[in-house]
Amino acid sequence: MSFFSKIKQGLGIGTASVALQVPGQVAKDSSEIPGKVILTGKSDQKVKSIKVRLIEVYTTGRGEDKKTKEYELGQVELGQPFDLKKDERKEIEFKLPFKLALSGSQSLAEQKGALGALGKMAVFAGNEKSEYQVKAVADLEGVALDPSESTPIRLV
């Protein structure tokens, strides 16, 4: 392997690509997200592990007071280590378990009647917003920057 090939390998360039297939939306009261990770080898690789996570990106405030936090709502690790050959395509199905966490005003907004209206006003006033994404990362042996894919998903 040439010097430049080793540098590319270490940086994760030309190693493997990761693609995710998940539904566009899932019910909030569901306890898992079904999906599929698709790995395609661009060169021979040893895949140590694949992790799939559900991330909530929670934003509050406006302008200079805007704050963003990320929360992990669920994670699954797929399979045992395996070899991925050049141009090989491997599809791995998964079910990602998750538990939804709501802020105080978000949970109040889920209520009916006056409490629900009060909660919705608090969410609006605080400019609270949650966005969700499913993220898959393939941990490759000898690679510093592992290939990953992130897909937005709606929880309804």
52-101 pLDDT, tens digit per residue, is 999 988 887 777 877 888 888 999 998 788 888 888 899 999 999 998 76
Confidence of residue 35 (pLDDT cuts 50, 70, 90): very high
Element (H, E) at 60: strand 45-60
What is the CATH topology of the domain spanning 3-155? Immunoglobulin-like (2.60.40)
pTM higher than the cut 0.85:
no
Q: What is the mean pLDDT of residues 11-21?
A: 73
d(CA 152, CA 79): 24
Confidence of residue 46 (pLDDT cuts 50, 70, 90): confident
**pLDDT value for 105:** 46
Question: Is 38:50 a contact under the CB 8 Å cutoff?
Answer: no
| 58, two tokens | 């929670």
Q: What is the mean pLDDT of residues 31-37?
A: 91
92-108 pLDDT, tens digit per residue, is 999 999 987 654 444 44
